[in-house]
Each structure stands twice: as structure tokens, then as C-alpha cells.
Structure 1
Amino acid sequence: MVEIGADGRTWLLSGTASSYALRLTERDELLHLHWGARIALADAEALATLPGPHSSSFESGLDGREEYPVEGGPRFVRPALSVRTDERRGTEWTFETYEADGGELRLRFRDAPLTITLHYRMRDDVVERWVSLANDADGAPVELLRADSATWTLPEREDWRLSQLHGRWAAESRLVGSGLTYGEKIIGSRRGHTGHQHLPWVALETDATEERGEVYGCALAWSGSWRMAVAQLSDARVQITGGAGYDDSGLLRLAAGESFTTPVFAGLWTDGGLGGASRAWHAYQRTYVIPDADQDRPVLYNSWEATQFDISEEQQGTLARRAAAMGVELFVVDDGWFGARVNDRAGLGDWTPNPDRFPNGLKPLADYVHALGMRFGIWVEPEMINADSDLYRAHPDWVQFQPGRRRTEFRNQLVLNLAREDVQEYLWERLDTLLSSAPIDYVKWDFNRCFTDAGWPEDPYPQRLWVDHVRALYALFDRLRAAHPGVAFESCSGGGGRIDLGVLSRTDQVWTSDNTDPLDRLAIQHGFSQVHPARVMAAWVTDSPNNQLNGRVSSLRFRFVSAMAGVLGVGGDLTRWSEEELAEAGEWVALYKEIRPVVQHGDLYRLRPPAGGLSAVQYVRGDESVVLAWLQAQHYGEAAPALRLRGLDPAATYECRETGEVHRGAVLLHHGLRTGLRGDFDAKVVRLRRI
């Protein structure tokens, strides 16, 4: 809901429990008024009458108060917008008009030749903000040095704490918190993709716990290089500025008639603690971001860890039979099915089945998988190319490169320049043909290296490829989804290197990490859950010992219960599993299918973090509740503590489906549930139903 003040210069957006207010002064300065608990329009207008802070020739009264600080004039904070023309640099805008319809507020400003429109939309209690910029003149171009999506202003509080998700390959999404100090904290990626090192999300609070207290969170919907700056200014005010691109060297050059729309930068306020913030983010993504989020994601099998590049149609058929007998619903052939792809040194770019391995194409295997009662999927990495490929031999100029410089071939591959229209059309034609050649239901879309040689000698403004690569990627996803509506897509980037609201708006799930060790995954999944829902979090059960990474030995029980916290998959070499293991795995798959609606669509409560000893999560949906508990290790004489459950009705009665025991809701909430776990690497699933 958008409310407008009587003079048309105060605006209030309100959701279920929160409000966001802003005010335009007579000098066309757009000031932030309020973000937090729900208020009335009269409250916002009262806030607009309060005197501003003292200013001097050394301090600006605008700093820390503006909605979208631009470069130029009496401002010393980090600008969200920095532009230049042949004549001048900076922005001095005048207000033109506003529009409010469909729950969206648009404020239009003008600084010839540039039209700047700030967009606001409240979805439940998430505020979406973005900016569109258009060069409306007939003359010279405008260079966008920096065009962030939004600047968020927090209320005056003491002792802000910042939470963020950091990591590296195979150790993504590690939650860390620290006190905010004066100055700026910068996180981001200059790698061409979202990156394993930071997820584009932050949360700030002063005294919040998992279930209580005010929390402010921000998440960016962009899958390329990005930056967030969290600044505590000299007067202790806090602002968060973020958007596409890592530095200020230039995003795009807008010629006359051209425009650019920034990605959405979403913000959330809650007084329900860190857990309440997570549940609000999850609900927002399931409702507004993720395609077909109301549909259950199937249990999949992926052949990579079983076969790597050594694959054949017969071998894949053998794995498919075992997977089907286990109850798997989707069979995915990973890397190695195409071109000359017998190792990682050749074949990328040649998206046709290897004639020696699949002499009749993929259709016979896909038909066989369907006959077994499963869907069929494949792995691709369209943005990459090997020098040893037919595509590179035909078009060596299609890769990113800097003339006269040594090129970097991480993983023996180069990056295609998706900013080129001929590359875009080639990928569309190849992938459309591929998806039309066989009954393919699922595509795992990988991205296995960063940008390092991001040059484009033929283009007059080559740095635009950083933005245009992502825009072309999104357009390709959109085009493929429209042409093949029955195909689901998974985003992967060497594990969790491309996870953000932007790619999630075009894919059905994400590969959380290449690390499938069940203990390591608990910490990764704990961090991931701070912002993203279980509905998109792919997790596999693989072999023990975990020879891919750390050699850890764990039971099938522990591996399955760890992976059942998200979208369950299996990735072990099923030809080496015993009949007893296959039978037990089938029982776990059947159990997961029973709890899947609650896990994938329910509200998540983090009962105990994976910090050693006992950890647990709980999902609640309607009358059903599921608890997943893991015991890492136990000292003799120390019983695992009871789990105090959440999200239940204290006046209701709940039956445990495993034991038939009946529990009072108030007892489970205040005194807890005993799991009976003991020893090392033990795990358990508890199902409760309200009766």
C-alpha cells in the first residue's frame, strides 16, 4: 500500500507489519524518514517536520539522510550514482513527477540529458528498490561510472552488529558477525559472478536473538560482480549502499535513447529476531522470486561423483536402474556427454552428444530413464569454452581477452563474451536445439571459473561486458524457459558461486556447495538458511569415506538426514553400494517424500546451530512439524540436551509419528523434546502432527 501526503511530497509504503517513508524537500532533496514498525501517514508527516542535523563547511546536513545520494554538491558520503558527460561530472537533479499504482511508487527526476527514476515496491514486509536511468537527449552519451540500486538508512541506535555470509570454494555461506565501527565495511565480488566469498546479503541488529529483536536485512538480486558498502558515519548514522559492479571505473555508456535498469536491492525489517528475518526472506522468495515455487522439487540422482568424465550410455543406464529402484525421481547425466569431453581440457562449447558415447544422441537414454519412471536431466556450462573445441577453432575472437596479455585458463577453459550478440544467438540456437532433440526435463547450468581477462578489443566501451554478460545470461534463461516451459534449471558455479535473488528468479534450485560431506554441509546449510529457503537448497548423499574432499567416514543415516534439510539428492557410486545400503537408502528416500512438503514449503526454525555437539532445525507447515537433529560427538556422561521446539500451538496436542507418543505443545515449547541421540555422527528425523 502506498499513501501520499496532502502536498504530494511525502510518501509512505506499508506492508503487513512495517512501513517505509520518505520526503521531498522544497529544494528537491529526497530524504529518508522511516523504516521499521508500521506507522500512519500522519506519523510520517510529523517526522518530516523535525529539524535536521547541524551542518558546517566540514559536515553536510544531507549525509546520512538522503534516500539516494548522488555525486555532486554538499555531499561527502559514498554516492549511489556517479555519472559524467563530455562537459561535466556529477548530478544536480530536479523533481519532475511521481506515479503510484499497483503497489509501486516511482519518483522521476531530471538532470539533462539523464532521466532518473527511483522505484519502490512493498511486498509483504520486503521493500524492493531499483533505479532506471535513460539518456533522453539526441546528443552526447552519458557514462555511468556507478549506478547503485539503493541506499538504505537505518534508525539511530547504539552498538550495531553486522552479520554476513563469507566463505570460499567448498566452504561457502559461513555465518559471521561483528560489531560495526566507524568507517566503511565493503563486501562484494570482482569475479564476474556472485562468488563463493560473499553472498550479497547483510543483516544488522543491536540486541537480536534467534527469535526476538529488531533486524534489518538487505539482499541484492544480481549474478555478476557487485558491491555493498555498510557505513557508520561520523554522527553514528548507518547507511548501506549496494548494486552491480565492484568499483567506480564505469558500468555502461548510454548513447542517446539508451537506458539501464539496476537490479533490485531488497530490504527487510522485522522484530522477530534473526529467525523471523529468515522466515520472512524465505516466504518472500517462495511467493515472489522463485519460479513455480509451489511445486515440490524431485529427489534427484547425479552421476558425477560415480563416473566423472568416464561415461557411456550403458553405464548411465545401470546407474539409472539402481536410482529408480531407490525411489529417485530425476536422473541427471553430469559432465562428459558432449563433444570431445573425455577430460576437462576439451569439448566445452560443442553442445552436441559425443558420438562414441551416445551414438544415437541423448534420446535413447532419456527415453529409458522415463520408462523407469524418472525425469531426465543433463549438465551444461554454456558460458565457457575450451581452446580445444570446434567452437574456439571457428571463433577464437568470441572469448574475453586483453590484447597483448597472457590469458588465464583456469580449469583449462576460457570465458565466452556473452555481451556479443553473435555469442548470444549461438548459445540460444545450440541450447534450443539440444532441448528439442530429446525429452530433457532438467538442466544443471554450471559456471566453473571467474573473469580474469575481461577485455573486448573490438568494442569502444569494453568494460560494459561486466554488466552485459549478466543481462545476456538472464535474457537467455528467460528465452529458454519460455520456449521450453517444462524444463527446470539449477544454478551451479563450482558449488555455491552463483546464488542470489537474481539467478533465483530464473532457476528452480541452486547447488549449494561442491562439498557433500554431511558434517561440513551442516554449517554451509546453516548460513544459507539465513536468507534462502530449503525449497532451493540442493543437497546430496554421496559415498563414505568422502574421498572427494576430506575422507570422513559417516553413516548412511547421518548423510541422509543432513541432505534431507533441503532438496534431497543422491550422488554416490551406486554400483559400489551393497544391497543393504541400497535398501536403507530407499527407506530414507521414501521418508523424505513424506516430509518433503513440510521441509520445502514450511517455516524454518533453527533450534541449535552446528557448533559441535547437538544441532537441529525444525520445519512447520499447518498441523505438521518435522525436526531434523544431528549429534556430531558426545562425551561420556553428557546427555544430549532437550530441543525446545518453536512454531507450535502451546494449547494443542501433538503426536510423534515415529513412536506414537503424545506431547503437549506447551511442554515441547518450554521443556523440549529428547532426541535419544548418542555417540558420534548420529542423526534423527522426528515427525509431529497436531491432533
Structure 2
Amino acid sequence: MTTQRATTAPSVQIDGTSGTVLLRTAHSAYVLRVDRAAGTVRHVHWGAPLPLADAVALPVWADHDNSFAGRWDGVEEYPVDGGARFGTPALEVRFADGSSPLEPTVEDVVPQTDDHVVVRLRDRARPLAWHLHYRVPAGGGVLERWTEFHHTGTDDDGDVLLLRYASAHWPLPQRPAWRLGSVHGGWSAEGRLERSGLPVGETVLGSRRGHTGHHANPWMTLDAGDAAEEHGEVWAVALAASGSWRLTAQRTAAGRTGVTAGEGHEGTELRLPPGGSHRTPVSLALHTPHGFGRASRTFHHHLRTHVLPHPEELRPVLYNSWEATSFQVDEENQLALARRAADLGAELFVLDDGWFRGRDDDKAGLGDWTPHPRRFPRGLRPLADEVHRLGMAFGLWVEPEMVNVDSDLYREHPDWVQHLPDRTPTELRNQLVLDFSRPEVTGWALRWLSGLVAENTVDFLKWDFNRAFTEAGAHQAGPDARRVHVEHARGLYRVLDRLRTRFPRLRIEACAGGGGRVDPGILARTDQVWTSDNTDAVDRLTIQHGFSQLYPAGVMSAWVTDSPNPLTGRVVPMRFRFHSAMAGVLGIGGDLTRWSDAELAEARGGVELYKDIRPVVQRGRQFRLLAPGEGPLTAVQYLSEDADRAVVFVWRPTTAFGPPPPPLRLRGLKQEARYQDEDTAGEWSGATLSGFGLPLPDLPTGDCASALVRLRRVTGHGRNG
């Protein structure tokens, strides 16, 4: 049987005779073949589009046959531990009798919808089935995969322990060489983009921290070493997991390469009782022949269209009080800051850490989420009411997953903390992690959060997470105690989902000491993320460049803070600070009581200007024109979906002697149309701006110079460039 859809839409097509399945995105094809005789699902093609008739005729690669080779290695869609398979397994288990090898057989191929198909496999003799899900979300270029496991036996069979349980294995075509791209870094130094050759063997990216991590992010790109920003084939794989995770790129000596993506890490075992099941997080992947920039824009489109809860909303300009008052918050100084923030044009006022009982510093109070009696003797409602009267939404900082030992909560429930019973808990930042894999803990969190939001008319939560896991395990340790590395995040998801259901107008920003929890899984439940605790406007260019590889500007929170910067000490003009932060979701975090009248006036103008360009920045297509560190300038372009408006930022962090840089060649414009500079009234055709380039605007002298160019189409309805 063959099922297919119109060629203009993403689809799944199945040829029942050959067992071939063709998945078509808007710009690529992915082909697999079910081999019932061998009990496996083999990969055929991932790349350029092709028709089903050709997909059926394509050969399947196999390694040369000898007693030392793994003939399936790199070829199977979902390799298991068992038989002559020596590569990285996507699935590895231990049965109740201590044995582990699997012997798969194919049950059936079941179309769920036109864009979703399931391949069902099971072990030939043991009580375990696994179902491979493939989905092609409409209107884009991203594939989605996940896997479901089912214990099909009875109590007599005992439990099955899942040792590795990947969402997907993504086989790649053969190329002479491969280059891997990823980001690395640390706290306040997130998003350092790096591309380097992929060696033969296994290259693993991951987090054992219980959260996504500052040091890496759950995605990677692969290319043959010849791709650039706007040309060349690129494959990309990501994982929607907010706990511990692992991506393994394996390149074999025989010339096969693939990426395995899954939650957990070595030792994070999951127990599956008889009748039990487990569903993995979704893995996302794409192929494009148009470089890293197109790969990013494809992911941006997918996240806006299929992941974010409210992608149609423009994110508000916020003011956050942390850097102005730190822990010394009280009703009086917050009211003073709120009035100044409203005068600047802020639309959301966020009261940060220090507002709750016992919180005079970071050594106490976490867990006791009622207003500080000395700092807010009337509670938070009077402040919230005044913020609303000033025309702003009211937001609060919270850290629900953490507890201080010096708190009433810990004294009452010390068993709620993640720990193994014979280990001494390690305090980091003077706090411990609550076990959100436990229903009684998430139930407590949901109750107090619901009360807090309802009683104080809270519109926005900044949800923080300020330390990694240590000694993580169930209070009553068992054979799968370390499942908390994945189940904690699932508990977090349940709280967020239920909270948002109860309060549909509530908006949430994800934060983990900055960018320590950023992934498609958390973005499905939040509206934006705090990109980094480092607000230095120059450092942020590098951080934001790495962030943009997968995530759109419309979720990237960025603040204008004081100068000298409180973290780095760098002195940066306000113009540069605004231009850096305006490239994402603009926020202000400085001490407004110390800003001069001239600074406040400049800030007021910056906020007004941002509101004008905000629809293009937050909803438009992003083009990275000049990357940080590759020359004297960094430049980013945003283009509205209809190509009627373009916004271009240019930054020069340091003064450098030499000839002037060439014009900026813009991208995506309508070639026959004419575009006018909204500030100078200069006018050019789209062809000129794309071919010759945009003449560079005059930059102020000295370090940290920047410019913003706004272009609007005034005539023409030609083709897109």
C-alpha cells in the first residue's frame, strides 16, 4: 500500500511492498526501510528531496562481512544492544534475570496521521516492546522523533531496567569527512560557538548536572567541512530535554556516521515494571543545503510555530530590580523604581530575589514563600496594585526547586531534598535541591505558587534554578534511584503545565543562573529565557551569537544595565548597551535612581525605538551578517516575514586601525523593490542592498561604537532574494 499527500506539504509516504517509508519536509527527504526478515529498520537516505519511486529503488548500505565487523553499525534507525552490533546503542536494557542482549523483530508500521508514523518493534522472546515515532510538523523543515517503551510481561517476568533509552538515532549520509558544531562555556560565558573535525569514534556532549547546563546545550550541527553561513549542506540534531542529557556523534572506521540523542547519562537507569511504559522527550532534526543560517532560521520557525505557548505575542519591555537593590528590597525602594521604570516606557516590572520571609541574603529563606514581614509589612499586593496602576504588569522572581537549610520548609521536610541516605548533602550557593520527581513536593510547589499568583495578581514569574544536582537520588534509594536526573524535569513540567492551565494569562521566564536551562522542552512551557547573568553588552554579542544558532530572538531576554558593568567592570556607552539588548527581548536592569536626567532621556528614547522595531526583531527572520570576533565589526539583520521591513545592528567593540570594512550585503530582500532608510531617507533597491551592500553607517569614534539602521519597503512587489 502506498499513501501520499500533495507535494506542496510535508508528508509521510509508505510503500508497503518494499517496507520503505519516506518523510518529506518542506525542503528535504528522510527515508527508512523496514526489514521484517532481519527484524530491523534500516536507514536509506537523509538529504535532498526525492520521489517515493526513487526512494523504493535506493540501495541500503551494509558494512563488509567479516567476523569483526558490525554489519548493522551506523545503518539502523534505532540500534540496540544485541547481536553483531558494536556501535553506540540507542537502547540497552537489563532483564530481571541479569541478561541484557536484545533480539528485535518488527511488529508493524502504523500511520497515525498523514504526518506521523509509528514503527513498532519488540524483543523476540523477552517482555519488551519499543515504538519508534516519526512526525513531520506542517509547514517547516524539522523532523521530530521519539520512542515509547512498554513492558509487555507479567509480574513473573520482573522489572526491566532501561540503561540507555534514546529518543532517536539519526544516521547521516556518507561523506569524506565531518565537522561538528556546538556551543560550550560556563556561568556568565554561555554560547561559545565552536566547529571542529569529527574524529573516528564517539564524541559525546551532555549534562550530568540534572539541568540543561551552561557548559553545553543539547544540539549539534554536522557538515562536511565546506558549509558556511548561507551555503553548504548542514544537518542538525537537537533534544527537548531539561534534565540530564546526552548527544553522541559516532563516526566509524567503515565510513558511517550518526547521532544518538537521549535524556539521562551513564548510570541514569529507569525501572520499567510489568505493564509500565516510558516515553522519551522529542528529538528534533533537519537538513538544509543552505548553510548554518538557514538551519537556524528553520529551527526558529519551528519553535515559534510548534513549540512556544504564545508565539504571536510581542514580549514586553521589562524592568528588573535586582541590580539596583539586590537583597535590600522593600516596598518603598521598589515603588520608587517602578515609577521611574514606567516613565521610561517599561511594560513589566519584576521584583527579584529578597522579597520573602527570612531572605536577607542567600543563606536563608528559600522554601518559605511568604512576604518578608519587615520589608513588606503590608504584603506584596500594595506594590502589585501600584505597578498595575502605573500601566505595567507585575512580575516576581521565584526559585521553587530549591531550599536553604535555614528555612522552615527544610526543618519540617528534610526528606524532600535530593540525596542518597548514606551521603552528606553538598551545599552549593548555600542551598539544596528539592526532589521534584516526588508528587508530594510538586504538589506543595503548585499550591504555594497558585496562592502567590492569585493573591498578588502576578502576571509574570522569573523561574530560577541556581545550582546543579549533587548526591541526587531518591530518599529511599533503589535500583533506579538516579532516575531523578530525568524525572525531576518531568515533575517541573507538570507544575508548569498545571500552573499555566490555572492562570492562562501568566507568563514565565526560564532561568538557571542565566542560561543554564535553555532547550526546546522548557520553551514549550515558558515564554522566554534569561540568556546569561552576564549583562556586559560586549560579552553579550558572543553569547547571543551562540544562542541564535538554535533559538529565536523573540525568547532571548537581554538587559541594559549600569556602566561600569557590575560583573566585568567594562565602561560601555548607553547607545551600545541598548543596541546589544535590543537584538533580543529588551529589558532594563540598572539602578535608575542613579541615572542622570540625560541618561534617563536617552533610555526613554531607546525604549521607544525598540517598540517600533520589536515586531521585526521578535518575529522576523534573523541573518547573522558578521560574526563576533571574525573582524572589527559584528552585524545582525532582522527581516519581517513579508520582507517589507529590515532592521540592521552594527557593533564595533574596539577601535582598530585599518581600511574601512566593505558594505554590508543584506539578505532576503525583494530584489526589484526599493527600500528607504527611515532615519536618513536614503533609498536603495533590494538588488543593490543584496549585491553591492548597505553602505556602513557612521559610527562614533572610540571603543564600543554601534549603529541601528531601519529600512522600509516603499515600492515594488518583486521576488524575494
TM-score (norm 1): 0.98
Q: Does 1:368 align with 2:418?
A: no
Q: Does 1:245 align with 2:264?
A: yes
Letter in 2 for 1:608: L
Superposed counterparts of 1:648-687, under 5 Å: 648-673=669-694, 674-679=696-701, 680-687=703-710
Q: Does 1:186 align with 2:204?
A: yes
SS at match of 1:280: helix
2 CA distance for matches of 1:50 and 1:419? 43
1:28 to 29, 34, 39: 39
2 CA distance for matches of 1:415 and 1:381? 10
1 CA distance for matches of 2:13 and 2:334? 59
Instruction: Give the conservation status (yes or no) of the 8 Å contact 2:63–2:69.
Output: no
Determine the structure 1 residue equivalent to 2:296: 278
Letter in 2 for 1:89: S
1:487 to 502, 506, 517: 506
Determine the structure 2 residue equivalent to 1:520: 539
Determine the structure 1 residue equivalent to 2:405: 387
Instruction: Give the conservation status (yes or no) of the 8 Å contact 2:43–2:60.
Output: no
Letter in 1 for 2:709: V
Letter in 2 for 1:212: H
Letter in 1 for 2:102: T
2 CA distance for matches of 1:21 and 1:326? 55
Give the Å deviation of 1:566: 0.3
2:135 to 108, 116, 121: 121
The share of aligned pairs that are identical, in percent, is: 53
Determine the structure 1 residue equivalent to 2:330: 312
Deviations 1:644-667 (A, max 9, x none): 111112221100001011112111
Give the Å deviation of 1:159: 2.2
Q: Does 1:477 align with 2:482?
A: no
Determine the structure 1 residue equivalent to 2:369: 351
Give the Å deviation of 1:610: 1.2
1 CA distance for matches of 2:606 and 2:53? 56
Give the Å deviation of 1:44: 1.2
1:541 to 560, 563, 571: 560
Deviations 1:479-528 (A, max 9, x none): 10101110001100000000001101110000000000000000000010
SS at match of 2:483: helix
2 CA distance for matches of 1:15 and 1:178? 28
SS at match of 1:411: coil
Give the Å deviation of 1:678: 4.2
SS at match of 2:429: helix
Q: Does 1:407 align with 2:425?
A: yes
Give the Å deviation of 1:456: 2.4
Cα separation, partners in 2 of 1:325 and 1:457, compared to 1, 3 Å:
closer
1:9 to 9, 13, 19: 19
Letter in 2 for 1:42: A
Instruction: Give the conservation status (yes or no) of the 8 Å contact 2:676–2:684.
Output: yes
SS at match of 1:246: coil
Give the Å deviation of 1:459: 4.2
2 CA distance for matches of 1:320 and 1:641? 44
Letter in 2 for 1:131: T
Bigger shift: residues 105-114 or 536-545: 105-114
Determine the structure 2 residue equivalent to 1:215: 234
Deviations 1:137-158 (A, max 9, x none): 2221111111011111111112
RMSD: 1.2
SS at match of 1:198: coil
Bigger shift: residues 176-185 or 329-338: 176-185
Letter in 2 for 1:62: W
SS at match of 2:136: strand
2 CA distance for matches of 1:327 and 1:5? 59
Determine the structure 1 residue equivalent to 2:717: none
SS at match of 1:185: strand
2 CA distance for matches of 1:6 and 1:412? 60
Instruction: Give the conservation status (yes or no) of the 8 Å contact 2:421–2:477.
Output: no
1 CA distance for matches of 2:393 and 2:301? 28
Give the Å deviation of 1:396: 0.8
Determine the structure 1 residue equivalent to 2:90: 80
Give the Å deviation of 1:314: 1.0
Instruction: Give the conservation status (yes or no) of the 8 Å contact 2:557–2:584.
Output: yes
Instruction: Give the conservation status (yes or no) of the 8 Å contact 1:640–1:676.
Output: no
Letter in 1 for 2:634: S
SS at match of 2:23: strand
Q: Does 1:329 align with 2:347?
A: yes
SS at match of 1:638: coil
Give the Å deviation of 1:358: 1.5
Letter in 1 for 2:48: A
Determine the structure 1 residue equivalent to 2:50: 39
Give the Å deviation of 1:636: 4.3
Deviations 1:141-195 (A, max 9, x none): 1111110111111111122111101010000011001011211111111011000
Letter in 2 for 1:688: L
1:417 to 406, 414, 435: 435
Deviations 1:547-593 (A, max 9, x none): 2x110001000000000000000000000001110111000000000
Give the Å deviation of 1:339: 1.5
Determine the structure 1 residue equivalent to 2:600: 582
Bigger shift: residues 57-66 or 637-646: 637-646
Give the Å deviation of 1:274: 0.6
TM-score (norm 2): 0.94
SS at match of 1:580: helix
2 CA distance for matches of 1:53 and 1:459? 44
1 CA distance for matches of 2:342 and 2:439? 42
1:18 to 28, 33, 53: 28
2 CA distance for matches of 1:405 and 1:157? 49
2 CA distance for matches of 1:101 and 1:200? 28
Instruction: Give the conservation status (yes or no) of the 8 Å contact 2:563–2:569.
Output: yes
Instruction: Give the conservation status (yes or no) of the 8 Å contact 1:634–1:678.
Output: no
1 CA distance for matches of 2:635 and 2:522? 29
2 CA distance for matches of 1:472 and 1:258? 18
Instruction: Give the conservation status (yes or no) of the 8 Å contact 1:640–1:678.
Output: no
Superposed counterparts of 1:499-578, under 5 Å: 499-547=518-566, 549-578=567-596
Letter in 2 for 1:496: G
Letter in 2 for 1:595: I
Cα separation, partners in 2 of 1:684 and 1:94, compared to 1, 3 Å:
same
Give the Å deviation of 1:50: 4.8
Bigger shift: residues 626-635 or 490-499: 626-635
2 CA distance for matches of 1:51 and 1:99? 25
Give the Å deviation of 1:640: 3.9
Q: Does 1:496 align with 2:515?
A: yes
1:605 to 623, 645, 654: 623
Unaligned runs of 5+ in 2: 1-10, 715-721
Q: Does 1:299 align with 2:313?
A: no
SS at match of 1:278: helix
Instruction: Give the conservation status (yes or no) of the 8 Å contact 1:251–1:466.
Output: no
1 CA distance for matches of 2:649 and 2:558? 14
Unaligned runs of 5+ in 1: none
Determine the structure 2 residue equivalent to 1:647: 668
2 CA distance for matches of 1:152 and 1:50? 15
Instruction: Give the conservation status (yes or no) of the 8 Å contact 2:508–2:528.
Output: yes
Give the Å deviation of 1:7: 1.6
Letter in 2 for 1:683: S
2 CA distance for matches of 1:179 and 1:467? 31
1:54 to 64, 70, 86: 64
Letter in 2 for 1:690: R
2 CA distance for matches of 1:459 and 1:452? 15
Cα separation, partners in 2 of 1:6 and 1:462, compared to 1, 3 Å:
closer
2 CA distance for matches of 1:21 and 1:507? 34
Letter in 1 for 2:637: Q
Deviations 1:388-437 (A, max 9, x none): 00100101111012333332110000010111221111111111111111
Instruction: Give the conservation status (yes or no) of the 8 Å contact 1:251–1:467.
Output: no
Superposed counterparts of 1:117-156, under 5 Å: 117-123=131-137, 124-139=140-155, 140-156=158-174
Deviations 1:360-398 (A, max 9, x none): 221111110000000000000000000000100101111
Instruction: Give the conservation status (yes or no) of the 8 Å contact 2:268–2:485.
Output: no
2 CA distance for matches of 1:413 and 1:401? 13
Instruction: Give the conservation status (yes or no) of the 8 Å contact 2:677–2:683.
Output: yes
Determine the structure 1 residue equivalent to 2:121: 109
1:227 to 223, 237, 246: 246
Give the Å deviation of 1:613: 1.4
